Structure 1
């Protein structure tokens, strides 16, 4: 597997020189300055590619070329936006950049309620608190029929929280859920928004009447439109699983489990229609056996995110150590090194540790925490490669002795 790293461009506080020193081989990035839906021009693509290559690295994966909301809910400008997307793909293909990670999650990208959940060792990590999220849904969004999505026990805890939560805590929750975890990755709402809840409600309203089947139809429509240009340039479109892999806020989520992935790959059965295998996102769903999914979909996987989660008894989940948790990353690496060994991979959602907290890094994208994770995974990869070599030696030896 190729060691890559998500980098947020020249303004990223983590420099390419730093990444080269810690053994990174490829860069995962995007043209974040270009608004969603606009064409990525050749000059901007080539300038970024050249800049990365001057630092001894290569632009391995685009993460991401965002799919506009109007494409997802089939707005009146959908075809125009898809045309722009096709032009951007063509420009990327001509530049030799051929792996595109994207998602089809309505309104929200990845969801966490806490971005600095403290641990006893002084480090911190991302955390999803189901009761906090339900409180946000019921009392802040005031979504119609929201209470139907939660159990009586959960609703009772929400009401307890409602009695004790402070204004500061409430504002921090809003900021975390719809600004800090969204805005830095081409999100719909940025820190400049004065009324984030109001805008968020408007975005949710765009999906009124859009269920799982409608969203599936819209994804199929999008993929069928772009497959010819992908085939022409050998571009792999790699959909990212929903994070977390469950229904939220009444919005349809359609990449959550084995059945969803099977549907997607069959609905547009084309070699350019592939998967970003995110072990972390998939592990946050109790329905998912992550190694089994890796084994089943290894041949259609084009990019791998290596991280892991723990799911707590109350339904909360937290980012786990990269050698532990439901992601079973050691076994996942074994599967991909055997079945599809040349894939780009990146570690993801590392802890905040040492002086990471004071650097202003994007949530989940620390330097020291991810560097530790990369070292752990690099050791796993080296061990697995030795295992595979030894197995091959034994096979050859047995054949000679027969």
Structure 2
């Protein structure tokens, strides 16, 4: 597989020169300065592509060309937004960039409640605490009928937390769930926005009356509109699984398990309608057998995220070592090296370690933590290739 790295553009504190030195081959990036819904011009794409190539790397994957909320909930203005999306895809195709990772998660992308969960060895990692999330949902967001989504035992734990949580802890929970993990990805809410909870509630309101079936219909509408330009330029669209792969905040989620993925691939049965196989997102769903899913969908997987999680009985989950957890990354490397050894792969959600803590990296995107993970995965790849020659 091609060893790639998510890089956040020319302002990223991690430079392309640093990435060359640690064995990265391809870059996963986007035009982060362009607001959602606006056209990516050919000039802007070529400028960034040339900058990457001057560092003797290649722009392997776009992650992501964001799908505007209006496309997801199906507003009357979606056709103009899809037209812009098609022009951007056409320009990417003209520039020779052929793999686009995107998601169709309403309002909120990946969710964690703790960005600095301490581990016994002194490193820290990302963590999802179901009770803290329920507290945010019920007591901070005050979403209508939120209590119906939780068990009596969970509600009792939320009430107990309400007696001890401080205002600082509440503010940190808001910042973690709807600002820090979202602003650098989808732009709905960003650092410095006033009243983020109010903004977030307005975004949720856009999805009133939108259930799983309607969201699926809107995805199909979007995919059917863009498939002709994908066919013309050989562009592979790779939908990212929901993270976590379950319904949250009353919102529908449509990429949670093998059944969902099969539905999407069958509904728009075109080889350019494919999957980003994120082992971390999928492994955080206890319903998912990750290696089995990799084998099942191998021919429609165009991009791979290699990370792993451990899931607790109560629904909490934590980023696991790349050598451990429910992602079974060694087995995934074996599968992908056999089925499609040219797939672009990036490691994901590295720990904070060795001075990463004070560098201001985006959550989950540390330098040393991901470098360590890349070394682990590179070892797996070498072992798999070596065994195949025996």
Same fold (TM over 0.5): yes
* Residues in 2 aligned to 1:254 and 1:37: alpha-carbon distance in whole angstroms: 22
Q: Based on CA coordinates, which of the two structures has the bigger radius of gyration?
A: 1
Q: Secondary structure at the match of 1:67?
A: coil
Match of 2:202 in 1: 202
1:114-142 Cα offsets, whole Å, 9 max, x none, are 00001111100000000000000000111
* Residues in 1 aligned to 2:313 and 2:14: alpha-carbon distance in whole angstroms: 36
Question: How far 1:34 moved relative to its partner?
Answer: 0.1
Query: What does residue range 100-115 of structure 1 map to in structure 2 within 5 Å?
Result: 100-115=100-115
Match of 2:41 in 1: 41
Match of 1:246 in 2: 246
Unaligned runs of 5+ in 2: none
Match of 1:64 in 2: 64
Q: Secondary structure at the match of 2:184?
A: helix
Number of aligned residue pairs:
390
Contact kept? 1:99, 1:237, Cα under 8 Å: yes
Contact kept? 2:279, 2:305, Cα under 8 Å: yes
Unaligned runs of 5+ in 1: 391-402
Query: What does residue range 64-103 of structure 1 map to in structure 2 within 5 Å?
Result: 64-103=64-103
Q: Secondary structure at the match of 1:84?
A: helix
* Residues in 1 aligned to 2:192 and 2:367: alpha-carbon distance in whole angstroms: 26
TM-score w.r.t. the length of structure 1 is 0.97
Contact kept? 2:69, 2:106, Cα under 8 Å: yes
Contact kept? 2:276, 2:305, Cα under 8 Å: yes
Contact kept? 1:32, 1:186, Cα under 8 Å: no
1:75-113 Cα offsets, whole Å, 9 max, x none, are 111000000000000000000000000000000011000
Question: How far 1:178 moved relative to its partner?
Answer: 0.3
Contact kept? 1:241, 1:282, Cα under 8 Å: yes
* Residues in 1 aligned to 2:227 and 2:279: alpha-carbon distance in whole angstroms: 26
* Residues in 2 aligned to 1:371 and 1:169: alpha-carbon distance in whole angstroms: 31
TM-score w.r.t. the length of structure 2 is 1.00
Question: How far 1:192 moved relative to its partner?
Answer: 2.1
1:296 aligns with 2:293: no
1:122 aligns with 2:122: yes
* Residues in 2 aligned to 1:9 and 1:179: alpha-carbon distance in whole angstroms: 20
Contact kept? 2:35, 2:187, Cα under 8 Å: no
Question: How far 1:186 moved relative to its partner?
Answer: 2.6
Question: How far 1:389 moved relative to its partner?
Answer: 2.0
Match of 2:4 in 1: 4
1:143 aligns with 2:143: yes
Moved over 3 A (4+): none
Match of 2:189 in 1: 189
Contact kept? 1:338, 1:388, Cα under 8 Å: no
Q: Secondary structure at the match of 1:185?
A: coil
| More divergent stretch after superposition (179-188 vs 62-71) | 179-188
Q: Secondary structure at the match of 1:159?
A: helix
Query: What does residue range 252-267 of structure 1 map to in structure 2 within 5 Å?
Result: 252-267=252-267
